Amino acid sequence: MKEKIIEVSIGMFGQNGFTETSIQDIVESLGVTKGTFYYYFKSKEELLMEIHLRYIDDLLQSQKEILETKNSSEQKLYDIVYMIMKHIEGHGQSARVFFREMQHLNEEHLDDIFHKRDQFRKNMNQAIQEGIDSGEFRQDLNVEIVSLAILGAVNWSYHWFDPKGKLDEKAVSTIYIDFMLNGLKST
Amino acid sequence: MKEKIIEVSIGMFGQNGFTETSIQDIVESLGVTKGTFYYYFKSKEELLMEIHLRYIDDLLQSQKEILETKNSSEQKLYDIVYMIMKHIEGHGQSARVFFREMQHLNEEHLDDIFHKRDQFRKNMNQAIQEGIDSGEFRQDLNVEIVSLAILGAVNWSYHWFDPKGKLDEKAVSTIYIDFMLNGLKST
Amino acid sequence: MKEKIIEVSIGMFGQNGFTETSIQDIVESLGVTKGTFYYYFKSKEELLMEIHLRYIDDLLQSQKEILETKNSSEQKLYDIVYMIMKHIEGHGQSARVFFREMQHLNEEHLDDIFHKRDQFRKNMNQAIQEGIDSGEFRQDLNVEIVSLAILGAVNWSYHWFDPKGKLDEKAVSTIYIDFMLNGLKST
Amino acid sequence: MKEKIIEVSIGMFGQNGFTETSIQDIVESLGVTKGTFYYYFKSKEELLMEIHLRYIDDLLQSQKEILETKNSSEQKLYDIVYMIMKHIEGHGQSARVFFREMQHLNEEHLDDIFHKRDQFRKNMNQAIQEGIDSGEFRQDLNVEIVSLAILGAVNWSYHWFDPKGKLDEKAVSTIYIDFMLNGLKST
DNA sequence: TATGAATGAGCTTTCATTCAT
DNA sequence: TATGAATGAAAGCTCATTCAT
């Protein structure tokens, strides 16, 4: 039941927004009553936190596995970008909730999530730094800002990426990486 | 008074969110009553639309001026990126509202805004295409996706950019452009 | 202007109801502002009272003229019925307002109107009594109740009478009177 | 609880009017909170509809039973008149609400009620027609108009009938019927 | 005569949450 | 595990009215 609540909530939060979705809406779509909801969750916010945690923990775990390999920095970068895109493709509504409804967490939870997002970003920084150190990437990069640019470009995809569109998440990732590695300029 | 309402609303919507800010909060912060609010706005949503319109219309206008120059594509790209960053720097809360609270517009208004955002994106596409045609940019770029990547990277800045931080909007723009033109790879 | 306000108010009160029609609605339909309204009327209720007064005073005056003639009771009865019907035909919305929105008058005004409606009813009683005394009407009638029945039947017409319908107010009055004088029973 | 809400609402709507009675007034008189009201009714209008439905359905049912008997038309007419009067006597406030507050139903509900009131009227027409066909009533009656006159006379009673007055509903009904059958004219 | 800005009280409705069963 | 009745606080919005100009 708890899983079912989370599942339909993600769908409804993603579609209509956190504030716009009432507990009533959620339980009605499951054919149960509000009491049931409060048996499994202390509050609406706790449900939102659970959704956030699952998303970011999953991302962090995948990122960790990628970073622990012996692959080239270029490959690692590609793997991370593709992994995020794969998440957006496979859990599109989760991504929407994660990127859009964070503000509705309470302070404590927000701190927790913020810290984890920061960790994700720092891991990204590190991957880029490694590429610089190994000579794969340019020496004169501002790691912090470039990292934010890459994350921004990829994360932004949740706004427009359509799993049923012309290009799948793999194709988009490939274009992203080519752009990020080689830039726009003709040589 | 209308201007004052818009002004404080942007601040409060940006800080606490559209749904979390009540009309009561807004008018209290101005020392007037709810009736006053509804004298100037038919609904809370109408106020939100006004904020959106001002933001996107301003952006489109600035973009148009940039595109109408005879500058190189590289320069135009820089100018657009810097212009967006300048907006985020100068109207940070507006940007937050614009990028985050769009969902609370009604269908008709959403259509309008969506159409304008699309226009902005298409103008961006065109700028890149011109660069390709003139030989400044690589021939093998996927214009649509690259354009989305650039916009994503720059727009995302509203999440983290701090006007009082170490780097100002000009420095960030420069780093962005360098990254976008030349990529990460060492040569 | 005062006349115009009364005129459109009758239309709007009749169509949509007194409470459902706002001052704003009224002044907007005249292209003026609320201040103007309050220049001519102390309150919304005062406007309603004015409408009521015009209606009942008109009715009372017409009734008086009919009763002062030397006509037969039958004729007088017919004239009164026809006169009410004529009012409903010609001032349909006024009738609606008069019969339906009385409750929104304040106590003092309500008293006044009530007293005048009562006067109208008593004059009716008197007409019937005269008919009885002269032998035109049956001796065993309960004047009070019969009078209320007649007024009920005629007044009720405002619910359904359609000036553009098959029967005009004259035809309906004739049928009413025939029914009231001769009853249903076959002889 | 739902019953209690309906009960006190009828009283308050009848006394002070639908618009003049707030949900607050209703729940306060029951010692509960507004939330409770909305647990049982989707809206104030829905409550009004429920009151209307109960009234008209009850009336239609009683009318049906009367019409299905083998009684004379005269008797049926008396029974219907008496039945309506009995309703006005016993559910005076309901009658007030029913006849006066109909306008506050929404379009869909209004249609429904209107249709049922029309059915009641048509059944009345039919009863009169049967009397004509059987020879009890005059051949030259305009059934539609006479029927409306009778209903008007009886329904109007809700304006003035006082259960504690000199004449009870039975006495009034008897006077009504005598008047309707035999008319005013002396013979 | 008329305007327009502002008020303030009140309205219907929503909703997260509680709790006895 | 789950229900269903009830709460209470707050929300968006309406509107008759006032008043300086």
Q: Are residues B33 and B48 in the same domain?
A: no
Domain count, chain C: 2
Task: Report the percent of chain D where pLDDT is more than 90.
Answer: 88
Q: Are residues A13 and A105 in the same domain?
A: no
pLDDT in tens, D100-140: 999 999 999 999 999 999 999 999 999 999 999 999 999 99
Q: Are residues D71 and D152 in the same domain?
A: yes
Cβ of A152 within 8 Å of Cβ of B148? The answer is no
Average pLDDT over residues A30-56: 93
Q: Are residues D76 and D128 in the same domain?
A: yes
pLDDT at A123: 95
Residue B139 lies in a domain: yes
Residue D161 lies in a domain: yes
Please report, for the domain that includes residue C164, its CATH number: 1.10.357.10
What's the gap in Å between the CA of D82 and the closest CA on chain C? 14
Q: Compute the 3-state secondary structure of chain B and give helix, strand, coil in percent, each to the nearest 5.
A: 75, 0, 25
Residue B187 lies in a domain: no
Q: Are residues B3 and B47 in the same domain?
A: no
Q: Are residues C29 and C101 in the same domain?
A: no
Residue D187 lies in a domain: no
Q: Are residues D81 and D32 in the same domain?
A: no
Residues by Cβ under 7 A, strand F: A 1, 32-36, 38-39; B 19, 21-25, 34-35, 38, 42-45; C 19-24, 34-35, 37-38, 42-45; D 1, 32-36, 38-40
Confidence bin at C184 (pLDDT 50/70/90) = confident
Confidence bin at B131 (pLDDT 50/70/90) = very high
**What are the Cα distances from residue C5, in Å, to A64, B24, C33, D57?**
76, 35, 12, 41
Computed over every residue of chain A, the mean pLDDT equals 92
Residue A61 lies in a domain: yes
Q: Are residues A22 and A102 in the same domain?
A: no
At residue B43, φ and ψ (nearest 5 deg) are -160, 170
Question: What is the residue range of A84's domain?
Answer: 52-182
Residue A184 per-residue DSSP state: S
Nearest chain D residue to C185 by CA distance is: D137
Residue A46 lies in a domain: no
Q: Where are the alpha helices (DSSP H) in chain D?
A: 2-16, 23-30, 34-40, 44-67, 73-90, 92-100, 107-134, 143-156, 169-182
For chain A, the chains sharing at least 3 beta-carbon pairs closer than 8 angstroms are B
Burial of A164 (0-12, 13-18, 19+ CB in 10 A): exposed
- Scanning C36-55 for CB atoms below 8 A from D yields none
Does position C92 have pLDDT exceeding 80, yes or no? no
Q: Are residues D18 and D64 in the same domain?
A: no
Q: Are residues D78 and D127 in the same domain?
A: yes
How far is B43 from B49, CA to CA, in rounded Å? Answer: 10
Q: Where are the alpha helices (DSSP H) in chain A?
A: 2-16, 23-30, 34-40, 44-67, 73-90, 92-100, 107-133, 143-155, 169-182
Average pLDDT over residues B159-175: 93
Q: Are residues D170 and D100 in the same domain?
A: yes
Confidence bin at D50 (pLDDT 50/70/90) = very high
Is the distance from CB of B49 to CB of B109 less than 8 angstroms?
Answer: yes
Is the distance from CB of C171 to CB of D122 less than 8 angstroms?
Answer: no
Is the distance from CB of A135 to CB of B186 less than 8 angstroms?
Answer: yes
How far is D164 from B167, CA to CA, in rounded Å? Answer: 88
Confidence bin at C42 (pLDDT 50/70/90) = very high
Residue A67 lies in a domain: yes
How far is C9 from C26, CA to CA, in rounded Å? Answer: 6
Does position D47 have pLDDT exceeding 80, yes or no? yes
Average pLDDT over residues B17-32: 92
Q: Are residues C37 and C48 in the same domain?
A: no
Please report, for the domain that includes residue B27, its CATH number: 1.10.10.60
Confidence bin at D184 (pLDDT 50/70/90) = confident
D164 touches chain C (CB under 8 A): no
Q: Which nucleotides of F are covered by protein (CB under 7 A)?
A: 1-20
Residue D24 lies in a domain: yes
